[in-house]
Structure 1
Amino acid sequence: MFDQFETEVSGEPEIEVSLSAEVAEEDYDEESYRDYLKAYVPEEPGERYRHSLRMLDEMVAAAGQLISYPTFQRMLFLQNVAMMEAYLSDRLLTLVTLEEVQTNLIKRHKGLGSQTYSLEAFASAQSLIVEKTAGFLKAQLYHELDAVEKLFEAALGLSPFPDGDTKTFLKKAMINRHHCVHRDGKDNSGAVIVEVDAPYVHQVRDCIASVVAHVEANCADKIDRVRPPSLF
């Protein structure tokens, strides 16, 4: 792409000078960058949760009249729970790559530690312990919060819940999760659940965010050891 420029030589009006110069196209396109940010998903579990939460909060802020729709609130509720499940699973899977965390989980969790394998199995797969530990964690249901707490206590020596009230609230919320996922927002008697409204969903959001913050803060040293290297 070229732009044309014309000028005159001072004192010589009969001399005309015409110049053309190549103009570089803009490397930075703000709209494209916004699209990139919307599509970007971090690999690190804590960063991915915070990124997803920002996207969800932006969607809520722009929802307008949809906020008053019960179906929309159930969608928001389930998305928050899905983000929690993904975080709890992925955080354990990243930290169990540390030898001491893996050893703790195997020794302290009966469901994993009681598994037995033949020498032939070990001979054919030198990384058998790593594979079986990861496979065991991936097979868990991370909305079953009592089981999740046992996993965290065995592997990391802490509950994922910052306090008893948060645990109690989220455990009850998992009942509503079941009704929303399997019964389209109706309880076992067929009545539509009205509890999942905007204030309730916001409380669920805040409780899950507190769980993530609690785990991230208490496992910060371990997380730093498994964090992928920064590209910048």
Structure 2
Amino acid sequence: MILKELYLYPDLVDFKDDIVHPFRDQSRSICNYLERVLKPIKYDTKGFKRICFIGKNKPNLECFVNSSKVLIVEIYFDENKYKSLEREQLNPLFSQMLISGVEKCQGQYEIPRDELLRGLADFCESGYVNRWTFKTKLIKDIDVKCALECELTTDTFHLNLVFYKGSEMLSTREILKTEPDEMVFTSMFKDISLEGDSLVIMDKFGDAIFSATFDELGL
């Protein structure tokens, strides 16, 4: 099986939903970043397709693969420390917990340890910025490239429409802003289409979520 997904969240039994739910959303940025690190690797785990790093009061020493082909890795979670942190202090906590979980797997299950640790280091060095370009399209008549650019933070997902002339950015416009949950935003955009003198952004169902003429876009 190819490892594609990583999750980090407190245990649903040990902790209340007012801790679990915000933590799970806040940790998606760092986990999403690592999932994009994993994508080109196509790492064959020979038994599981997802790793869930689960925060516990008293974590089990043993990791295990459950019936859903998910590797469960229990790690210590300090609820009081988490509640005391400011927003900008969350990613360092998440990184520490993930490092602990990755290291715990060694000797029990084979995972792409070096790539994950390198990805965490790179994320830290970037200032915990998770940005990526989802799709680009060239408007040939005016030689302008448009791009759907994403940013995922601890509290928000942003989708921006950005226009470039060569290497120069001409303009940017926010198209979507949602909570930081892939279950919410993934289906909300899929493609860029040029229809006459208009640019249209469509969701995965083929419905337009944004449409504007080139004049309205200042092109």
TM-score interval, normalised by the smaller of the two chains: under 0.3
Which structure carries more relative contact order (alpha carbon 8 Å, separation 6+)?
Answer: 1
Question: What's the TM-score once normalised by structure 2's chain length?
Answer: 0.24
Question: What's the TM-score once normalised by structure 1's chain length?
Answer: 0.23
